[in-house]
Every structure is written in C-alpha cells, then in structure tokens.
C-alpha cells in the first residue's frame, strides 16, 4: 500500500532548517562560534613594498566574478596629499597581486596600482556590474582639502566618476561604509556620527567632549538627497559641513558605564540573510603613557564584535575581539568565504591614533570550517 506524504508537514519541518542553514550549510550560531574562536592560521598578505606604501589602512575586500578585489589606502608622508588609493586582486584571498592600472603618474611613471590621490575615507560596493565608492573628503586642483560626503561610480573598478545625484550635506570623517544588501534590496551606508557625553562616570579626554558613534542611512537607490537639519551640529566650525548628530538612527555606540572609548568606524560584514557582524574600532582615549596616549584626540584602538539579524539593530558580543598587543588596530570592510574557510582581514599599527605609523601590513585571519584543513 502506497504511503501518502503530508507535504505541509514536510515543508513545516524543512523550512526552519533552510532558514538557519543557508549559504555553505552553516548555521548562524556555528558561524558566530567559529569566528569567536582563535583563528587556525594568521599571516601577512600584503606588506609595504612600494615607494608609495609607507602605511596601510582603510581596506575594502570585494568578490567580483571569479576573483577578489581589494582597495586600500597607502600613505606616504614625503608627498602631498599624503594618501593614494590602490587596487590589488587575488584568486584565493591569500595571494594578492598589484595590478598596473596605468592611470596615475607617480614620480614620472604610471607603472603602479594607484587609482587616485584626490579622495579619502573610502569604501566600495559592487552591485550588478557597477562599483560604488563613497568618500568623505577630497583635494581640489590646488591641493586644498574639501570636507563632505561624495559618491563615485565605475564600470571597471579603476576609473571613477562623481555621482552627483547622491547628496548628503554632512562631514562624517574617516572610513564610512557602503554595503549593498540583497535581502532588503537597499544600500546600507554606515556613517560616522557624534553625540555629547552625558555619563558622569567617565572623564572623557577628547576635543568637544563628544563621542564618536555609527549611524545608518538606508536607501533603495543612490539617487538621494538628505535634508540639512536647521539645528545641525557643527563639530569643525560653521565654515565646514556639519556632523551627523541626531539626523539618523545610531546603530553602534559605547554602551559601557565606566570604560572611556568611542566607536570608530563600523566594518559591517554580511554573512547570511539574517546574520551581520560588525567589527568596529573601540577607540580608547587615555593619558596612560604606557599605552602611548596623549590627551587630545589620541589613544589606542582594539576591534570589537557585534551581531545583528538585519544590519540595523546590533548587540555587542565581545569588546576586545582582537588586540594582539598593538596600539591601534583596524578591521577591513568585507571578507572572503569559500566552502572550506572564512578569511578576515585586519591592519595592525605600532603607533597610537595621533602618531605617524611605521610600515605595517594587512593581515589575514583564517578560520577553517572543517578542522581537517588546519594543517594543509
């Protein structure tokens, strides 16, 4: 006698599994547990080898078709502007090659991987064949610094043109993040914001006595104009654009009642439809000379670990996720996932926030999903 299968029961049983175990078959909890464990391997994947590379920071990693692309800032204090933005590519996320993009004239030669030296505070998203680059400042033809949020567009990832339909009349300072979210079909743009310190338990050492935090601008497309708040907070003075203070929802901020730090950049990564992890810098302001701190806008940084189901509401899980004995440490926007492993990237510094850095590296933390890969 043939058995009749109740499809409603089967669907009801399978759906929760599909919702939890998507992508490469790992549940959200397993991903979190894996990433909170010590990495199986850690190694430098990019070192300051070129004349224009005195220091690395502000890196974005993207998966483009059958390869990975990384954009990073290279600082060189012997020229002005000090920074250039560069591009490298990889087939496995570990071995990176500098492409000669033949675009930028550096000391008489275009044999380099430099894209531009006109913008700063960059992160990049890739959506349906288009690269979208957000920056928080630029240098004009006279090398004068102009603050303000800017969007750029490119079809080849090398030649970017400003996209004037995106207008955010604020100055958000440092690496802001643009992320295309396929689940919500929106751009999630994580922007630097500020708020006044109201905690009497903290002796806060910083100009203006304000905390940095991260706020979220979420929009379906980049044809967008943000209205200017009549009572906007002019952190850097009335001659400069105001800073975001109460115009957007804050998604990352210092929740401690006693520790003196603020949140410096978001570094949100999306793993699954319902799993987002942020790796923000915890910026500790201190006059502890053993940690290298100076009172005004100096201190050291560690990386935190925050989780979210939607990229909007985050919960702090671990405060000092990565320290490694460095005075300053940055995560990177983006990561690499294969069927066998996760590769995450961070940038260590031997200097505090206000000191000039020595040559550093971009490092990879590798977590194997199956521990049999550990010794390969």
pLDDT of residue 282: 94
CATH of the domain at 220: 2.115.10.20
Q: Quick one: three-class SS letters along the chain?
A: CCCCCCHHHHHHHHHHHHHHCECCCECHHHHHHHHHCCCCEEEEEEECCCCCCCEEEEEEEEEECCEEEEEEEEECCCCCCCEEEEEEEECCCCCEEECCCCCCCECCECCCCEEECCEECCEEEEECCEEEEEEEEEECCCCCEEEEEEEEEECCCCCCEECCCEECCCCCCCCCEEEEECCCCEEEEEEEEEEECCCCCCCCCCHHHEEEEEEEEEECCCCEECCCCCCCECCCCCCCCCECCCCCEEEECCCCCCCCEEEECCCEEEEECCEEEECCEEEEECCCHHHCCCCCCCEEEEEEEEEECCCCCEEEEEEEEECCCCCEEEECECCEECCCEEEEEEEEECCCCCCCCCCCEEEEEEEECCHHHCCC
* Residue 256 is assigned to a structural domain of this protein: yes
Sign of the torsion angle spanned by Cα atoms 107, 108, 109, 113: positive
* Residue 6 is assigned to a structural domain of this protein: no
pLDDT of residue 15: 41
pTM metric for this prediction: 0.90
Domain that includes residue 156, residue range: 27-373
Contacts of 85 (CB under 8 A, 6+ apart): 71, 72, 73, 74, 114, 115, 116, 117, 119, 122
47's tokens: 């070192």
* Residue 290 is assigned to a structural domain of this protein: yes
Distance CA 226, CA 234 (A): 16
pLDDT of residue 210: 79
Distance CA 24, CA 89 (A): 23
* Residue 12 is assigned to a structural domain of this protein: no
Domain count, the chain: 1
pLDDT of residue 298: 79
* Residue 1 is assigned to a structural domain of this protein: no
Q: What is the pLDDT along the chain (376 residues), one digit of tens a residue?
A: 444 445 444 444 444 444 444 456 799 999 999 999 999 999 999 999 999 999 999 999 999 999 999 999 999 888 889 999 999 999 999 999 998 999 999 999 999 999 999 999 999 999 999 999 999 999 999 999 999 999 999 999 999 999 999 999 999 998 999 999 999 999 999 999 998 777 666 655 555 567 899 999 999 999 999 999 999 999 888 999 999 999 999 999 998 888 878 899 999 999 999 999 999 999 987 765 655 556 567 788 999 999 999 999 999 999 999 988 888 999 999 999 999 999 999 999 998 888 877 789 999 999 999 876 555 5
* Residue 9 is assigned to a structural domain of this protein: no
* Residue 262 is assigned to a structural domain of this protein: yes
* Residue 11 is assigned to a structural domain of this protein: no
């Amino acid at each position: 006698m043939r058995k009749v299968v109740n499809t409603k029961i089967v669907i009801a049983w399978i759906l929760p599994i599909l919702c939890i175990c998507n992508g490469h078959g790992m549940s959200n909890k397993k991903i979190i547990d894996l990433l909170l464990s010590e990495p199986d391997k850690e190694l430098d994947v990019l070192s300051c080898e070129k004349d224009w590379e005195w220091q690395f920071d502000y890196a974005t990693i993207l998966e483009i078709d059958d390869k990975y692309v990384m954009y990073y800032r290279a600082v060189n204090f012997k020229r002005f502007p000090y920074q250039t933005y560069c591009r490298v590519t990889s087939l496995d996320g570990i071995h990176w090659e500098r492409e000669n993009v033949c675009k930028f004239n550096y000391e008489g030669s275009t044999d380099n991987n430099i894209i531009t030296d006109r913008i700063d505070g960059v992160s990049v998203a890739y959506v349906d064949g288009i690269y979208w680059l957000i920056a928080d400042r630029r240098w004009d033809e006279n090398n004068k610094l102009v603050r303000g949020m800017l969007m750029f567009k490119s079809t080849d990832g090398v030649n970017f043109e400003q996209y004037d339909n995106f207008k955010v009349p604020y100055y958000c300072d440092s690496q802001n993040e643009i992320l295309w979210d396929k689940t919500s079909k929106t751009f999630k743009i994580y922007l630097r914001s500020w708020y006044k310190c109201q905690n009497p338990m903290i002796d806060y050492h910083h100009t203006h006595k304000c905390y940095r935090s991260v706020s979220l601008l979420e929009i379906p497309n980049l044809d967008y104009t943000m209205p200017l708040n009549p009572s906007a907070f002019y952190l850097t003075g009335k001659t400069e654009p105001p800073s975001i203070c109460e115009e957007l929802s804050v998604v990352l901020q210092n929740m401690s009642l006693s520790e003196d730090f603020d949140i410096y950049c978001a570094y949100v990564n999306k793993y699954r439809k319902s799993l987002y992890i942020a790796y923000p810098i915890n910026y500790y302001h201190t006059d502890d000379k053993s940690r290298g701190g100076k009172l005004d806008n100096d201190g050291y940084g560690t990386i935190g670990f925050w989780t979210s189901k939607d990229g909007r509401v985050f919960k702090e899980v671990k405060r000092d996720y990565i320290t490694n004995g460095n005075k300053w440490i940055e995560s990177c926007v983006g990561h690499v996932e294969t069927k066998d492993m996760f590769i995450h990237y961070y940038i260590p510094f031997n200097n505090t926030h206000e000191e000039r850095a020595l040559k550093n590296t971009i490092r990879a933390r590798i977590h194997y999903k199956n521990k049999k890969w550990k010794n390969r």
